[in-house]
Amino acid sequence: MINRINGHKTNTNTKKNKKIFSNISNKIYYNRQNLIEKGIDWSCIYLTKNLLNDLILNNFFKNNMLNKKEINVIQKSAKQAITNNKTLKSNNLELLYLNSDVYNKLKPQWQNNKLVKSVKEGNNAAFFARANKILMPEKELQLSIFHEIGHALNYNCSKLWQNVYKFSNISTFLTYLIFGKEVFNMPKTQKKSSSKKEALISTSPMIPNLIEEGVASIKGNHEAKKFVNKNLYKKIIKNNKLSFATYMLKFGFMYISFKFIFDIKNLLQKNI
Ligand SMILES: [Zn+2]
Q: How far is the CA of 229 from the centre of ligand 1 (A)?
A: 23
Tens of pLDDT, residues 46-105? 999 899 999 999 999 999 999 999 999 999 999 999 999 999 999 999 999 999 999 999
The confidence score (pLDDT) of residue 9 equals 52
The confidence score (pLDDT) of residue 188 equals 61
Candidates 262, 32, 233; CA nearest to 143 is 233
Q: How far is the CA of 187 from the centre of ligand 1 (A)?
A: 38
Q: How far is the CA of 148 from the centre of ligand 1 (A)?
A: 6
Q: Is 120 exposed, middle or buried (0-12, 13-18, 19+ CB in 10 A)?
A: buried
Candidates 116, 118, 204, 205; CA nearest to 169 is 205
Q: How far is the CA of 7 from the centre of ligand 1 (A)?
A: 57
Choose between 266 and 19: higher pLDDT: 266
The confidence score (pLDDT) of residue 2 equals 42
Q: How far is the CA of 92 from the centre of ligand 1 (A)?
A: 20
Candidates 106, 52, 28; CA nearest to 247 is 52
Q: How far is the CA of 215 from the centre of ligand 1 (A)?
A: 9
**Predicted confidence (pLDDT) at residue 29 exceeds the cutoff of 90:** no
Burial code (b: 16+ CB inside 10 Å, e: under 16) for 217-226 equals: bebbbebbee
Q: Are 71 and 264 in contact (CB under 8 A)?
A: no
The confidence score (pLDDT) of residue 1 equals 43
**Predicted confidence (pLDDT) at residue 7 exceeds the cutoff of 90:** no
Q: How far is the CA of 232 from the centre of ligand 1 (A)?
A: 19
Tens of pLDDT, residues 100-150? 999 999 999 999 999 999 999 999 999 999 999 999 999 999 999 999 999
Q: How far is the CA of 54 from the centre of ligand 1 (A)?
A: 19
Distance from C-alpha of 178 to C-alpha of 199, rounded to nearest angstrom: 10
The confidence score (pLDDT) of residue 154 equals 95
Q: Are 86 and 108 in contact (CB under 8 A)?
A: no
Average pLDDT across the chain, whole number = 88
Q: How far is the CA of 68 from the centre of ligand 1 (A)?
A: 25
Q: How far is the CA of 209 from the centre of ligand 1 (A)?
A: 9
Domain boundaries, the chain: 31-87+143-269
Q: How far is the CA of 213 from the centre of ligand 1 (A)?
A: 5
The confidence score (pLDDT) of residue 191 equals 63
Q: How far is the CA of 240 from the centre of ligand 1 (A)?
A: 9
Tens of pLDDT, residues 175-221? 999 999 888 876 666 566 788 999 999 999 999 999 999 999 999 99
**Predicted confidence (pLDDT) at residue 264 exceeds the cutoff of 80:** yes
Q: How far is the CA of 188 from the centre of ligand 1 (A)?
A: 42
Q: How far is the CA of 29 from the centre of ligand 1 (A)?
A: 45
